[in-house]
């Protein structure tokens, strides 16, 4: 059909259950939305894949969808083999693939490098198009900041981040806009420089709605192992909020035999959670947040906050399908893709990229704090201030 936006996908790898499959397949195949099968009103016309392995899906997709062509370079995918930009939106999915790690344990996914290749085409063409960047912007803060600044300099819509802010919630509640948030906690699972980012996005999509909006972060202190339990005993974070978040988990492991009172004691948590990690940080307006990775006890993302004037914490879970369906179905990518569609159609970001700029910086600061001996780090560079959108965009269906 005429006048349908043309979309390019720039990816690291395209294998079963990779983020590329979950995102790009939805643009090709469609997905369930609002009680029916939804086909995006746009055409994914070009694809670049940085690494092709034995289980690659891109060749199969190109054969089944002849309107999409695989190109050998990023530039050719954006110009459709010509001399100037020929697409109206770009998916940048730089997650998964065989890339090295540095001495801090960060996986060096080439999101920044691929972004720079996209921008070179924009600058040579004299025009740009919206970009969606999956997950955090980069493992390198300076590069992440440059990506953000470049989007502002060239004037194109830019979205990024996790699917956690837009998935279902149980219960289906939101942080009241302009609420007086006093402290917040997320209890989740996963690794450092990977799922810690999802936990930070879980926190940020809620606390950014507080009175005054987001003000940036002044410092961060990461702890793991024995230092975590020392902070627990010192009540560095609210135990009430920790327990309120933990009570939302659908995957809480039974701490003892029997059907009654499976909520774990401190000794049971120490036995079940071998390597706990916490990032505690303070926003520039005084709000304190803590993200806890609690592998061995939970496998979901749970939030709680204390709000001025409320006697009970506000708590919810950012819902993901239970394992193993989480990997195979991954329905939480549907609201993310739907929001990306809206950006491609309107030219306006559906939610603020500043959220992910800040959580990118927090992820890097957490890694640095652990690497430097679990020290408190001042973060004057995380002076990322922005107002929250009135519509928080989480999935209510």
| Each residue's pLDDT expressed in tens, for the chain with a length of 397 residues | 568 999 999 999 999 999 999 999 999 999 999 889 999 999 999 999 999 999 999 999 999 999 999 999 999 999 999 999 999 999 999 999 999 999 999 999 999 999 999 999 999 999 999 999 999 999 999 999 999 999 999 999 999 999 999 999 999 999 999 999 999 999 999 999 999 999 999 999 999 999 999 999 999 999 999 999 999 999 999 999 999 999 999 999 887 766 666 788 899 999 999 899 999 999 999 999 999 999 999 999 999 999 999 999 999 999 987 666 666 667 889 999 999 999 999 999 999 999 999 999 999 999 999 999 999 999 999 999 999 999 999 998 6
Residue 301 CB neighbour total at 10 angstroms: 29
Distance, in Å, from the CA atom of 73 to the CA atom of 10, rounded to the nearest integer, reads 9
Please report, for the chain, how many H helices and E strands are present, in that order. Answer: 12, 16
- pLDDT at res. 257: 65
- The per-residue DSSP string of 264-293 comes to PPHHHHHHH-SS-EEEEEEETTS-EEEEEE
| Residue 338: both structure tokens together | 């739907």
Q: Which residues contact 101 (CB under 8 A, 6 or more apart)?
A: 107, 108
- pLDDT at res. 326: 62
Distance, in Å, from the CA atom of 107 to the CA atom of 138, rounded to the nearest integer, reads 10
Distance of alpha carbon 394 from the chain centroid: 13
φ, ψ at 266 (rounded to 5°): -60, -40
Taking the CA atoms of the chain, what radius of gyration do you get in angstroms? 21
- List the one residue out of 310, 395, 312, 359 whose CA is nearest residue 205: 359
| Residue 118: both structure tokens together | 């996209």
Distance, in Å, from the CA atom of 23 to the CA atom of 26, rounded to the nearest integer, reads 5
Burial 56-75 (b: 16+ CB within 10 A, else e): ebbeebeeebeebebbeebb
| Residue 144: both structure tokens together | 């992440």
- pLDDT at res. 329: 65
Burial of 389 (0-12, 13-18, 19+ CB in 10 A): middle
In this structure, the chain runs to a length of: 397
| Residue 71: both structure tokens together | 């190109």
- pLDDT at res. 255: 75
């Amino acid at each position: 059909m005429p006048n349908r936006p043309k979309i390019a996908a720039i990816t690291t790898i395209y294998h079963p259950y990779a983020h590329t499959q979950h995102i790009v397949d939805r643009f090709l195949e469609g997905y369930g939305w609002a009680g029916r099968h939804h086909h995006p009103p746009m055409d994914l016309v070009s694809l670049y894949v940085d690494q092709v392995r034995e289980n690659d899906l891109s060749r199969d997709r190109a054969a089944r969808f002849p309107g999409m062509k695989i190109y050998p370079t990023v530039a050719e995918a954006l110009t459709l083999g010509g001399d100037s930009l020929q697409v109206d939106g770009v998916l940048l999915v730089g997650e998964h693939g065989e890339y090295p790690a540095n001495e801090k344990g960060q996986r060096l996914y080439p999101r920044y490098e691929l972004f720079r290749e996209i921008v070179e085409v924009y600058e040579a063409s004299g025009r740009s198009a919206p970009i969606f960047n999956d997950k955090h912007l980069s493992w390198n803060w300076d590069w992440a900041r440059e990506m953000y600044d470049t989007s502002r300099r060239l004037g194109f819509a830019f979205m990024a981040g996790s699917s956690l802010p837009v998935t279902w919630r149980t219960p289906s509640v939101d942080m009241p806009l302009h609420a007086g948030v006093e402290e917040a906690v997320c209890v989740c699972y996963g690794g450092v420089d990977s799922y810690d980012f999802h936990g930070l996005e879980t926190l940020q999509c809620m606390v950014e709605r507080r009175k005054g909006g987001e003000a940036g972060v002044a410092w961060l202190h990461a702890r793991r192992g024995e230092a975590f339990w020392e902070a627990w005993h010192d009540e560095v974070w609210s135990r009430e909020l920790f327990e309120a978040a933990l009570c939302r988990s659908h995957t809480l492991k039974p701490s003892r035999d029997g059907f009654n009172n499976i909520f774990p004691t401190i000794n049971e948590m120490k036995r079940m959670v071998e390597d706990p990690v916490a990032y505690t940080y303070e926003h520039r307006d005084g709000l304190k947040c803590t993200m806890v990775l609690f592998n061995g006890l939970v496998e979901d993302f749970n939030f709680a906050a204390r709000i001025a004037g409320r006697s009970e914490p506000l708590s919810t879970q950012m819902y993901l399908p239970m394992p193993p369906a989480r990997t195979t179905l991954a329905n939480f990518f549907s609201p993310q893709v739907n929001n990306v569609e809206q950006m491609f159609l309107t030219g306006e970001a559906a939610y603020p990229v500043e959220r992910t700029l800040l959580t990118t910086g927090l992820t890097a600061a957490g890694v640095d704090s652990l690497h430097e001996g679990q020290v408190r780090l001042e973060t004057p560079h995380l002076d990322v201030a922005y107002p929250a959108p009135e519509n928080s965009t989480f999935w209510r269906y």
